[in-house]
Structure 1
Amino acid sequence: MAGLAAYLPDGTAADHYGGGALLEGFEQRIADLLGKPAAVFGPSGKMLQNAALRVWADRAGQRSVALHPQCHIAADEADAYREVFGLEPVWLGERERLPGTADLEAIISPLGAVTLELPLRNIGCRLHPWGELEAFAALCRARSVPFHADAARLWESQPFYCRSHAEIAGLFDSLYVSFYKGLGGLAGGALAGPEDLVEEVRIWQQRCGGRLRRLFPYIASALQGLDQRLERMPLYHEKAKVIAAALARLPGVVVTPDPPQANAFHVTLETAGGDLMEAALDVAAESGFWFFDEPLESPDEGLGRFEITIRESAMPLSETEITEAVRHLQQALVQRRRPAPGAA
């Protein structure tokens, strides 16, 4: 915490309930980085993003929003889009693949907004090809439907596209970015878009309790992440590709996607009847190597799935160290094998 003070401008007063030069300057930096007229920072990106969708929907007079069934908004926020913000989902595409423009064309009902997640984490942190994103944007323009990006991992996605953050953001009418994932901040995110949209989101933020009395610690950690980690995102991506290629050569291991499109990918392996979480804890207790906070849901009996994310703490680890750790995980699963019902 003391080290974060270096990222706060000398002589600048603390922010106060969403105002002040420190917060306003930071928001302008994010707006400029993303090539948008305005941005609003808050401790909860989920709040900001759902608020933006509600504003777009109210303007259109349509509470229906196109969402992929596995996107974060639909799968990981306890239905906040519906229960708190009064939105209704229209499912865009199928659970285990990226949505395409054909999926959007198949939706003939009016929409308040269309949302894509970059990358779609729950199916392996997959990203659309650039031409497909452009086609989505063109189709939304033709239908006069706002196009929003859940771009919490925009920083991690940028190396895949080899375009500036502003060029990627330019395809969308609004987008949300996070500061506590690859950038390593304490918490928080920003919603960027037109000035009038951002001002309405500020009102929703206040309604939801998101305009805290002091936000400067979160701002300081976000500034640190931007200064120290943003330029390292291509290195994280390259490391992820190297590690994924090595793991894909292990017997009984499948990597998705191969190669990774961002700094994260899914690993699927046979569990041998053992509990994946318990086996991971065994490996951690023995070696200190930590794979994941919790395993992912696997649709297939006898298979376990988890995500490997490459950030700063993984950079010193060699390809051999990581592959050996996965071998140890496989061994721990065998040792954790549960006897079949009725076995002696």
Structure 2
Amino acid sequence: MSKQSALAEAFRQSAYKVPGHGDLIVQNLRTVLDQIDGELESDRYGSGKIIEDFQDKMAAYLGKEKAVFFPSGTMAQQIALRIWCDQRGVAKVAYHPLAHLEIHENDALRELHRIEPILLADKDRLIRLEDVMNMPEEISCLLLELPQREIGGQLPAYEELEAISKYCRERGIKLHMDGARLFEIMPYYGRSAAEISSLFDSVYISFYKGIGGIAGAILAGDSDFIDTSRVWKRRHGGDLISLYPYILSADYYFQQRIGKMQQYHEDAKALAGLYNACHGIATRPVEPVSNMFHVHIDMPKHQLEPLLIQCYEETGVGLTSYLVEAGDTSCAYEVSVGDRYASLPKERLKEALQWLDKKMMEF
């Protein structure tokens, strides 16, 4: 067994896991289906009451004319950018160097759509208005990820977001939101999903992150945009014969958790405060702007892993299942706060972090 898998196994065995909503098990779908009339007719190739009602519900929630359900956000976002490029006749888009499309999709935008990405800003900071104003090339669309996951889930000030939106609209540049975690940033901005989405021409949201569904995404925008996206969805093979397990799961957990986003944010701030009180440990951001943040620890990965395993075994608290190297002498991991945190014995959590703090002081 590798050290990495040993840490994952120790986390799995821990009695009190800190991040997330709970284990990804088949029972989650059974829980959803137990609430549904078993005679309800399935969707079929993108049509039917189940999918159409949910799409209408999400369009209204986001304040857009229409929405379409996709099996994956990767598919939805590539299609959105393709549509905007075709409309303007310029096969160039701009986004952050650590955007999902750039680092997790094997150059799909280039290989499948022949679209050239223009990378804006340094990789360790957010895109600013000045970056957009100083773009060296004409583009069809600017993609903003809210929050910017790979740098700890940071967010621009809302006023800067408004300024970028205004600048793009004055110049005919479409603005697309990678809103995989849109629900989770609403408490920080103090605005509704529709208010935030009004700054963008198209919006993608995910249902397996903060919502905790099985899979699936929504792409929303004006009627012409969504009608065109349906054509591209068929071309990409996204119209499976039925998508109802994903749709029912998304709808059920949306109803269960959308009202908890404020609590998740408050819990994330409390947890980050506990981490930041430890020697050699810092969160990014220092105060989270959503339910997620990154934990950076001044200890090499190969030395921290066995310590975490020992911590889990002695305290019963699982902090993370993995570590990534952040430098020669440091490592990091991501935390997303969900339902688990509310029932977590806080004294146990403090005990685990005090244990870790002591070890860091000895290091």
Tell whether the structures are fold-level matches, with TM greater than 0.5.
yes
Q: Hey, what's the Cα distance between the residues in 1 that align with 2:148 and 2:215?
A: 21
Q: Hey, what's the Cα distance between the residues in 1 that align with 2:154 and 2:171?
A: 26
Structure 2: which 5+ runs fail to align? 1-28
Contact 2:301–2:325 (8 Å) recurs in 1: no
Contact 1:274–1:334 (8 Å) recurs in 2: no
Against the structure 1 CA distance between its residues 247 and 22, is the aligned structure 2 distance closer, same or farther, given a 3 Å change threshold?
same
Aligned to 1:312: 339
Q: Hey, what's the Cα distance between the residues in 2 that align with 1:67 and 1:325?
A: 39
How far does the alpha carbon of each residue in 1:67-97 deviate from its partner, in whole angstroms, 9 at most, with x for none? 1001222122222222223221101111001
Q: Which moved more, 1:322-331 or 1:310-319?
A: 322-331
Task: Name which of 168, 174, 191 aligns with 1:146.
Answer: 174
Structure 1: which 5+ runs fail to align? 338-344
CA displacement at 1:280 relative to structure 2: 4.2
Aligned to 2:295: 267
Contact 1:147–1:172 (8 Å) recurs in 2: yes
Q: 1:1-344 counterparts in 2 under 5 A?
A: 1-8=29-36, 12-271=40-299, 274-277=302-305, 279-284=307-312, 289-298=317-326, 300-328=327-355
Against the structure 1 CA distance between its residues 191 and 334, is the aligned structure 2 distance closer, same or farther, given a 3 Å change threshold?
same
CA displacement at 1:224 relative to structure 2: 1.3
Aligned to 2:25: none
Q: Which amino acid aligns with 2:163?
A: A
Against the structure 1 CA distance between its residues 11 and 136, is the aligned structure 2 distance closer, same or farther, given a 3 Å change threshold?
same
Contact 1:12–1:21 (8 Å) recurs in 2: no
Secondary structure at the aligned position of 1:254 is classed as strand
Q: Hey, what's the Cα distance between the residues in 1 that align with 2:301 and 2:228?
A: 52
Contact 2:215–2:246 (8 Å) recurs in 1: yes
Against the structure 1 CA distance between its residues 78 and 333, is the aligned structure 2 distance closer, same or farther, given a 3 Å change threshold?
farther
Q: Hey, what's the Cα distance between the residues in 1 that align with 2:105 and 2:325?
A: 16
How far does the alpha carbon of each residue in 1:225-248 deviate from its partner, in whole angstroms, 9 at most, with x for none? 111100000000000001111211
Aligned to 1:341: none
How many residues are paired up?
335
CA displacement at 1:60 relative to structure 2: 1.0
CA displacement at 1:10 relative to structure 2: 7.2
Q: Hey, what's the Cα distance between the residues in 1 that align with 2:309 and 2:239?
A: 39
Against the structure 1 CA distance between its residues 287 and 109, is the aligned structure 2 distance closer, same or farther, given a 3 Å change threshold?
same
CA displacement at 1:322 relative to structure 2: 3.0
Q: Hey, what's the Cα distance between the residues in 2 that align with 1:116 and 1:328?
A: 39
Secondary structure at the aligned position of 2:83 is classed as helix
CA displacement at 1:99 relative to structure 2: 0.9
Q: Percent sequence identity over matched residues? A: 37
